[in-house]
Structure 1
């Protein structure tokens, strides 16, 4: 039994010795493993905010507001409520879309790869 355990241990060490070593480079006070996709961030630029309103919130709000306004009143009152609901819904939809798009900043990040690209 002891021979089998000893043989298994020696075989494990021999197999582990066949594994390729990772390259390690000393840079300053730390060590770094070499890799193909490593790099350093060399520049971060703030591109700013892209605030493009496409109008989807306004259209959707007007449709929903008009549908809800159509449920109120009879005759000319129903028409007026539909128009008022569409206008109010459009305004609400526009504000919701505007608030959801505000505050998104975009950045351009430049990375210098270790292999020179």
Structure 2
């Protein structure tokens, strides 16, 4: 009578290079403004404000237009000078959590299976 011997295989170790995406977050950071937006806006606002009324009304219109234009120009420059990056959170098969940051959309979604290939997350 032969006894079947169970082959003992070592348990596969959970991977630290593969897992599932748990989050994708867009991160926006403002760059410092140069002041050109504020100056340009103030000039345009002042010119437009100067068209209103006469005498003291014109002076007030010019000042108010310059102030509003400066504020608007600075706001516009801030919105145009924004760095956008993408933070991807992954729960690896070994239980660890890792975060990867990309400058362009990463092309992965929450729940997708991913693995690392040359330091970049790849689906599949």
The bucket for the TM-score relative to the shorter chain is 0.3 to 0.5
Higher helix share: 1
Q: Give 1 or 2 for the bigger CA radius of gyration.
A: 1
In proportion to residue count, which structure has more strand?
2
State TM-score, norm by structure 2: 0.44
TM-score between both structures, scaled by the size of structure 1: 0.46
